[in-house]
Protein backbone atom coordinates (compact mmCIF):
# COMPACT_ATOMS: atom_id res chain seq x y z
CA UNK A 1 0.00 0.00 0.00
CA UNK A 2 1.25 3.49 -0.86
CA UNK A 3 0.86 6.32 1.66
CA UNK A 4 1.03 9.97 0.68
CA UNK A 5 1.85 12.96 2.87
CA UNK A 6 0.89 16.56 2.15
CA UNK A 7 4.23 18.35 2.36
CA UNK A 8 2.59 21.77 2.40
CA UNK A 9 1.02 21.18 5.80
CA UNK A 10 3.39 18.63 7.33
CA UNK A 11 7.16 18.75 7.74
CA UNK A 12 6.87 22.54 7.71
CA UNK A 13 9.87 22.92 10.00
CA UNK A 14 11.95 22.14 6.88
CA UNK A 15 12.47 24.20 3.74
CA UNK A 16 9.96 23.15 1.08
CA UNK A 17 12.52 21.46 -1.17
CA UNK A 18 13.79 19.30 1.70
CA UNK A 19 10.37 17.93 2.55
CA UNK A 20 10.15 15.19 -0.12
CA UNK A 21 13.36 13.56 1.19
CA UNK A 22 12.12 13.91 4.77
CA UNK A 23 8.84 12.30 3.76
CA UNK A 24 10.73 9.38 2.23
CA UNK A 25 12.88 9.05 5.36
CA UNK A 26 9.68 8.95 7.43
CA UNK A 27 8.43 6.01 5.38
CA UNK A 28 6.21 7.70 2.80
CA UNK A 29 6.33 6.68 -0.84
CA UNK A 30 4.32 9.59 -2.17
CA UNK A 31 3.87 13.31 -1.59
CA UNK A 32 1.39 16.00 -2.47
CA UNK A 33 1.66 19.76 -2.35
CA UNK A 34 -0.44 22.86 -2.35
CA UNK A 35 0.93 25.27 -4.97
CA UNK A 36 4.63 25.47 -3.98
CA UNK A 37 5.48 28.72 -5.75
CA UNK A 38 4.78 32.41 -5.07
CA UNK A 39 3.47 33.06 -8.58
CA UNK A 40 1.19 31.23 -10.99
CA UNK A 41 4.00 30.98 -13.53
CA UNK A 42 7.31 30.31 -11.78
CA UNK A 43 10.62 30.32 -13.62
CA UNK A 44 11.82 27.17 -15.35
CA UNK A 45 14.62 26.94 -12.77
CA UNK A 46 12.13 27.04 -9.88
CA UNK A 47 10.04 24.29 -11.46
CA UNK A 48 13.13 22.18 -12.15
CA UNK A 49 14.31 22.50 -8.52
CA UNK A 50 10.87 21.42 -7.29
CA UNK A 51 10.70 18.46 -9.67
CA UNK A 52 14.26 17.40 -8.82
CA UNK A 53 13.51 17.50 -5.09
CA UNK A 54 10.73 14.99 -5.66
CA UNK A 55 12.55 12.68 -8.05
CA UNK A 56 15.82 12.81 -6.08
CA UNK A 57 13.91 11.80 -2.95
CA UNK A 58 12.48 8.77 -4.73
CA UNK A 59 8.85 9.63 -4.02
CA UNK A 60 5.85 9.94 -6.33
CA UNK A 61 3.94 13.22 -6.63
CA UNK A 62 0.32 12.13 -6.23
CA UNK A 63 -1.45 15.48 -5.88
CA UNK A 64 -0.84 19.13 -6.70
CA UNK A 65 -2.99 22.21 -6.20
CA UNK A 66 -3.31 24.92 -8.78
CA UNK A 67 -2.27 28.35 -7.52
CA UNK A 68 -4.86 29.57 -5.00
CA UNK A 69 -3.47 33.09 -4.65
CA UNK A 70 -2.25 34.51 -1.36
CA UNK A 71 -3.65 31.93 1.08
CA UNK A 72 -2.25 33.66 4.22
CA UNK A 73 -3.81 36.88 2.94
CA UNK A 74 -7.26 35.31 2.60
CA UNK A 75 -7.32 34.19 -1.03
CA UNK A 76 -8.84 30.74 -1.53
CA UNK A 77 -8.51 30.09 -5.24
CA UNK A 78 -8.53 31.73 -8.63
CA UNK A 79 -11.24 29.74 -10.44
CA UNK A 80 -14.06 32.14 -9.54
CA UNK A 81 -12.02 35.34 -9.78
CA UNK A 82 -12.77 36.94 -13.19
CA UNK A 83 -9.95 39.49 -12.96
CA UNK A 84 -7.44 36.65 -12.55
CA UNK A 85 -8.82 34.20 -15.11
CA UNK A 86 -5.88 34.67 -17.50
CA UNK A 87 -3.48 34.01 -14.64
CA UNK A 88 -5.37 30.82 -13.76
CA UNK A 89 -5.22 29.65 -17.39
CA UNK A 90 -1.47 30.31 -17.48
CA UNK A 91 -1.15 28.27 -14.28
CA UNK A 92 -2.96 25.35 -15.91
CA UNK A 93 -0.12 24.97 -18.40
CA UNK A 94 2.50 24.92 -15.63
CA UNK A 95 0.57 22.41 -13.52
CA UNK A 96 -0.04 20.16 -16.51
CA UNK A 97 3.66 20.20 -17.38
CA UNK A 98 4.69 19.25 -13.85
CA UNK A 99 2.07 16.51 -13.84
CA UNK A 100 3.23 15.14 -17.16
CA UNK A 101 6.89 15.08 -16.18
CA UNK A 102 6.30 13.58 -12.73
CA UNK A 103 3.40 11.27 -13.53
CA UNK A 104 0.95 13.12 -11.28
CA UNK A 105 -2.69 12.71 -12.30
CA UNK A 106 -4.56 14.38 -9.42
CA UNK A 107 -4.93 18.15 -9.31
CA UNK A 108 -7.01 20.46 -7.14
CA UNK A 109 -8.32 23.82 -8.32
CA UNK A 110 -9.73 25.79 -5.42
CA UNK A 111 -12.90 27.63 -6.36
CA UNK A 112 -12.10 30.61 -4.18
CA UNK A 113 -14.03 33.26 -2.34
CA UNK A 114 -17.25 34.51 -3.87
CA UNK A 115 -16.56 37.67 -5.88
CA UNK A 116 -19.39 40.18 -6.20
CA UNK A 117 -20.77 40.41 -9.72
What structural domains does the chain harbor? 4-108 (3.20.20.150)
3-state secondary structure the chain: CCCEEECCCCCCCCCHHHHHHHHHHCCCCEEEECCCCCCCCCCHHHHHHHHHHHHHHCCEEEEEECCCCCCCCCCCCCCCCHHHHHHHHHHHHHHHHHHHHHCCCCEECCCCCCCCC
**What is the pLDDT at residue 113?**
87
What is the per-residue pLDDT across 16-63, written as a single tens digit (0 to 9) for each? 999 999 999 999 999 999 999 999 999 999 999 999 999 999 999 999
**What is the pLDDT at residue 72?**
86
Q: The pTM is what?
A: 0.93
Average pLDDT, the chain: 95
Amino acid sequence: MKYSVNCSILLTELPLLERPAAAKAAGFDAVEFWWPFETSVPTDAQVTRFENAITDAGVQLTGLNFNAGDMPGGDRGLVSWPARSAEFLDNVDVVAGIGERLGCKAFNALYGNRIDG
